């Protein structure tokens, strides 16, 4: 799992799959497997527990939500006064990029009022 996470990070940094294989000392077919579509269980877990976007409310607070549009911090919270919705990825985004896009946006929307 560690190599896969490293591969995703390297890919996000702009390295090709062959470069990643060389850097990590693994076969390129292994790297290619890392970027295949995940299992249905992994997809459901990702949709439930990772940020899909953020609701921006009237006072500037950003509330991260999952793919089901439920707030990550409290899935029963009813969000009022939404003035803007920001999405971190869409259905056309490659699977390996969905994770990195989601992770990269969390600090932006949890530390700063927009």
Report helix, strand or coil for 40.
Answer: helix
Residues forming a β-bridge with 84? 56
Least confident of 22-31, 54-63, 76-85: 22-31
Q: What is the pTM of this model?
A: 0.62
Sign, CA dihedral 60-73-84-88, equals positive
What strands, in cross-sheet order, belong to the sheet with 53-57?
Answer: 62-65, 53-57, 82-87
The answer, yes or no, to whether residue 112 has pLDDT greater than 50, is no
Segment 33-64, tens digit of pLDDT: 777 767 778 888 889 998 999 999 999 999 99
Q: How much is the pLDDT for 114? A: 45
């Amino acid at each position: 799992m560690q190599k896969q996470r490293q591969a995703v990070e390297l890919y996000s940094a702009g390295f090709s799959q062959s470069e990643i294989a060389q850097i990590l000392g693994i076969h390129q077919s292994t790297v290619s497997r890392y970027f295949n579509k995940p299992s249905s269980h992994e997809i459901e877990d990702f949709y439930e527990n990772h940020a899909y976007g953020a609701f921006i409310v009237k006072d500037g607070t950003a509330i991260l939500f999952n793919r089901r549009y439920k707030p990550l911090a409290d899935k029963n919270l009813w969000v009022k006064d939404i003035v803007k919705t920001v999405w971190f990825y869409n259905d056309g985004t490659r699977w390996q990029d969905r994770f990195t896009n989601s992770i990269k946006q969390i600090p932006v929307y949890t530390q700063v009022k927009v």
